[in-house]
Structure 1
Amino acid sequence: MDTTSDDALRKRTSQSTAKTNGHDNIPKTNGVTSDLLKKHGHPAGEIKHGTLTQIVRAILLTTFLNCCTFSIAATQFLGAPLYWYNRDYYYAYMALTKQSFGICGTAGTKVFAPTKVRVSWDPELKGQFRVSSTGRLETSFPERLVYVANHQVYTEWLYLWWIAYTSRMHGHIYIILKESLKYVPILGPGMMFYGFIFMARKWVSDKPRLQHRLEKLKTRHSGPLSGSSSLDPMWLLIFPEGTNLSRNTVKGSAKWAEKQGIPNTRHVLLPRSTGLFFCLQQLKGTVDWVYDCTIAYEGTPKGGFAPEYFTIRSTYLQGRPPKCTNMYWRRFAVSSIPLSDAKEFDEWLLARWREKDDLLEQWYNTGLFPSDVNSADQSKGISKTGFIETEIRLNSWLEIGQIFVVLAAAALVVNVVLKFFGLFMTLK
C-alpha cells in the first residue's frame, strides 16, 4: 500500500498495441520494448492459440470465473445472518468462502495459464519449505504474519494467495486494495465480506478506516478455523510500492528519488513506508514476523517490464504465461524493526528494498536467486542446489466442489420444500 506517493505513481496511460512478427499486446513506447522483442523474442515464445481458440478460451475462462464468483457471492449472502446469531461461526463461514476463491484462482491458473514456480529462501527459513509426495509445494509459515513483495504484474496477488494455500492459510488472507474495487459488481461486496481493506490513498480518511480494520485483525474467535494461537489466523498482504512496475511508474519513482535526494533503484520502485509503518505499529505484539517475497518472471530482459509481456490476454488466452515464476523468501522479526520513529522505519524499509534490488540484479544476470544449499534434502523435494521447482495447482480437483456445495445444498432444500408445498396444495 502507498498512501504518500505522488500522482506519477498512480497514473496509467492508454497504450496502443502492436502485432509485429507474431507478437501482440506489446505497447509501442519509445521503441524500447520492440527492440527487446527483436533481440530476445517473447519470454514465453510464439502465440500458441489462434484468434478462434482465444475466443473459445475467453468464453470458457469467463464462464468458469462467473460461475465461481456468483456461487461464492450467493454463499456469502446465505451465511450473512450468522453475524447476528454467532460471530464465531460467521467468521469461520466467511473463511471457508475465502478458501473457495483461493481454490478458484489456483484452478483457473492451472488450466488456463500453467506456471512453473522456482522457490528459494534465506537460510533462516530452513525447514519451512518442502514438496509433497505428489510434487506440490508445502510451506509451514506462521498463522499470523504480514507479508510484503515487489509488484510487477497484475496477477501477482494470485501467486501470493496460492502461497497461502500451500500453508493452508488461504482462508485467512487479507489484502489492502484501492477503494474503487469495492464498487465492482459481485466481486466488490465479496471482498467486503472477506474483510479486505479498501484505501482511497488519502491518509486523512484512510487512517481511521485502516485502524478500524486492523483492530478487527487483533480479535480472537473460538469457532472452527480459529487457529491454534491466542489470536485469529491472519496473513496481511501489502505491496509497499503501491503499484506495479511499469514504464510510467518507473518515471514517477525516479522523480521521487530526485525529490528526496536519494539514489534511485534499478528493478523496483521506491517503497512508501507510511501504510506499512502504521500496520506494523497497530499489530505490534500480535504479529512476530514480516515475510518478504522477491518475485521475478523468467525471460523478462533487463530493461524490460513484465506487464508489457505478461498481459491478461497473453497469459490466459494466448497460452503465453511466464515460463517460470521465481520467488525468493526472507523474514524479519517485528521486534527488530524500528517502529518508534517513522524516519528510522523509512530508512529500514528502503534498505530492505535496496537489498531486493540487488537480488533482482543477480537474477537478471544469472537467471537465479540465491539459494540455501544447506537446505538440500531430496526427501523433501529440495534439490542439491537448494531450489524447489513445482507448479501452481490444487491438492485435489475435488476441492472445486467446495465452491458450489452450499449453493447446491440450498437449491436442494428449496426444491424439496417446493415439492412438499406442491404436494400439500394438491392434497388440499
Structure 2
Amino acid sequence: MNVKEIAIFHVLLCVTFIVSGLAVNLIQFILYVALRQINPQLFRKLNYYLVYTIYGQLLFLIDWWGPATLNIHCAPDLLDRFATEHAVILMNHHYELDWLYGWMVGDRSGVLGNCRVYGKKVLKYVPVVGWAWNMSDVIFLDRNWEKDKLNLSSKLNELLDYPTPVWILLYPEGTRFSEEKHQASQEFAVSRGLPVLKHHLIPRTKGFSFTVSELDKSRISRLYDVTLVAGTSPTSAPPTLTSILCGRSTEASMYIREYQLKDIPTTDEGSSQWLMNLFKEKDALKDSFLQTGCFSELSGFPKYPPIQRQSRPWSLLISITLNSCVIIPLIYILLTGGIITRLVLVLMLGLAWFAMRKFINITKISKSSSYGAKKSTTSSDDKKKE
C-alpha cells in the first residue's frame, strides 16, 4: 500500500492547512487594518506572500505529494511574456483539478500570489481561503447584475494598480461541466440558434463583455485563452482531489493562445460574438486532442511541442516548515498530555477529517461527467441514436 493513501496523513495535512491558514488570516487582518489605507502598495506586496503561503500548501499536493505532469502547448515566446504584465486568463472548468493545473502555470510564472478570480459572495465568509480572498481584492458577485456591474466597475481597475503582475482568471462557462449541464446547454443552443458545442457549455457573455469594456487598455493589453484536457493518458490517475491526496500522479495538457485586448470588440454584441467564436475554436481543439492526442491534428491550429516546466521549491519548503511547526507540537502534546488533552486533540483531528471530506465532496464532479475520456466525444445526436 502506498503510505500516501493512509488517511491520517491527509488529516494531518488538513490540520496544518487550517491552523496555519487561520494564522495567516490574522496577520492579513492586522496588516489590512494598519496598512491598507496608509500604504496600499506595501500591503499588496506583503499580502502576496501571505496569499502564497496558503496557496502553496495546496500547490504542494499537485507538485510534490501527487506530482502531476503538465504539458503546455503554445507559441515559443509566449511563456516569456506570460508573467511580465497584467493579463486576463480564460479557462474551461471541466475537472476537479483544473484550478490547480492553472495554479501550476501561475506559480512557474511567478504570479500565483496575485491570481484573482470572480467568486460567489458567500465564499468571502469561508475561513482561510475565503477570508484571505476578502482581504485581497478578489471580486465577489451577488448574482444580481445591477449590483455586480457596479462592483466590477469599481474593483477591476484597482487590480491593475498592483505593483506586480496580476492575472484575472475568468471561467466564461460560469459553472463546472457535467453531462446534465452539457445536455441542457446543447438544448439551449438549439433553441437560440447558437453553435452546439460537443465539449463545452455555452459561455455566459455578459460578465466577459463588461470586463472587456471596463478594463483600462493602457494598463492591461493581453488576454490568454487556455484549453485544458486532463486524465486521458493511460498512465494518468483520474484528475481528482482524491487522486493527488493519495499520491497518485495525474497528467494534463493545455493549449494556450494569446490575444490583444484592443482587438476584442467592446460592444456587448461584438464581444459576445467574439467569445462564442472562441469557444467554437476551443471545442475543436479539445475534440482534436481527445480523438488524436494532439490539439492541432484535426483543429487546424498551429502545432507546438509540449513544454514541461519544473516545479519551484517554495511550495515544498512552505509545506515542510508549516507541517513541522504544527504536527511536531501536536505529537508532543499527545504523548505527554493528560486524558482531557488527548480527547481534545482527537476531537480536533475528527473535525479536520470532517472538513477535509466536506471540501473533497464540494470539488467532486458527478461520475456521469467523464474525465475527458473518448466516450465524452459522443455527440448528443449519437446518444439519441443509441
| Fold agreement, TM-score > 0.5 | yes
- State the structure with bigger RCO (CA 8 A, min sep 6), 1 or 2: 1
Contact 2:173-2:202 within 8 A present in 1 as well: yes
Instruction: Normalising by structure 1, report the TM-score.
Output: 0.67
* Whole-Å separation in 1 of the counterparts to 2:260 and 2:87: 10
Aligned residues: CA RMSD: 3.0
> After superposition, what is the alpha-carbon deviation per residue over 1:368-400, rounded to whole angstroms, capped at 9, x for unaligned?
3249xxxxxxxxxxxx97211346553574355
Counterpart AA for 2:275: L
Secondary structure of 2:119's counterpart equals strand
Q: How does 1:372-411 map to 2 (within 5 A)?
A: 386-390=305-309, 392=311, 394=313, 397-399=316-318
Counterpart AA for 1:346:
S
Counterpart CA distance in 2 for 1:262 and 1:396 is 43
- Map 1:91-106 onto structure 2 (within 5 A): 91-106=44-59
* CA gap 1:165/1:319 in 2 versus in 1, 3 angstroms: closer
What are the ranges of 5 or more consecutive residues in structure 1 without an aligned counterpart?
Answer: 1-47, 131-138, 221-225, 228-232, 372-383, 408-428
Q: 1:391 to 1:256 in 2, by over 3 A?
A: farther
Structure 2 residue identity aligned to 1:263:
P
Higher strand share: 1
Partner of 1:77: 29
Distance 1:193 1:396 in 2: 22
CA distance in 2, matches of 1:182, 1:238: 18
CA shift for structure 1 position 198? 1.1
Give the fraction of aligned pairs with identical amino acids, expressed as a percent.
25
Look up the equivalent residue of 1:398 and give its one-letter code: L
CA drift of 1:84 comes to 3.8
Deviation per residue, 1:52-84 (Å, 9 max, x gap): 944223213312322332232122123221124
Matches within 5 A, 1:183-194: 183-194=125-136
Tell me which residue corresponds to 1:353. Answer: 279
5+ residue gaps, structure 2, are 298-302, 327-386
1:153-232 equivalent positions in 2, closer than 5 A: 153-219=95-161, 226-227=163-164
Q: Is the 8 A contact 2:199 2:287 kept in 1?
A: yes
Structure 2 counterpart of 1:256, one-letter code:
F
From the CA coordinates, give the structure whose radius of gyration is larger.
1
1:127 is aligned to 77
The one-letter code sitting in structure 2 at the alignment partner of 1:71 is: A
Relative distance call for 1:318 and 1:219 in structure 2 (3 A) is closer
Structure 1 stretch displaced more, 161-170 or 236-245:
161-170
Which residue, 101, 115, 118 being the options, matches 2:68? 115
Count of paired positions: 316
Q: Is the CA contact 2:210–2:268 (under 8 Å) kept in the aligned structure 1?
A: no
Residues 66 and 246 in structure 2, CA contact (< 8 A), matched pair in contact too: no
Q: 2:7 aligns with which of 38, 42, 55?
A: 55
Assess if the C-alpha contact under 8 Å between 1:71 and 1:403 holds in 2.
no
TM-score by length of 2: 0.73
Give the superposition deviation at 1:209.
1.3
From the two aligned structures, give the one with the greater helix fraction.
2
Whether the aligned pair in 1 keeps the contact of 2:225 and 2:257 (CA below 8 Å) is yes
- Runs of 4+ residues over 4 Å off in structure 1: 390-393, 399-404
- Residue 290 (structure 1) shift: 0.5
In the alignment, which residue of structure 2 is the partner of 1:297? 230
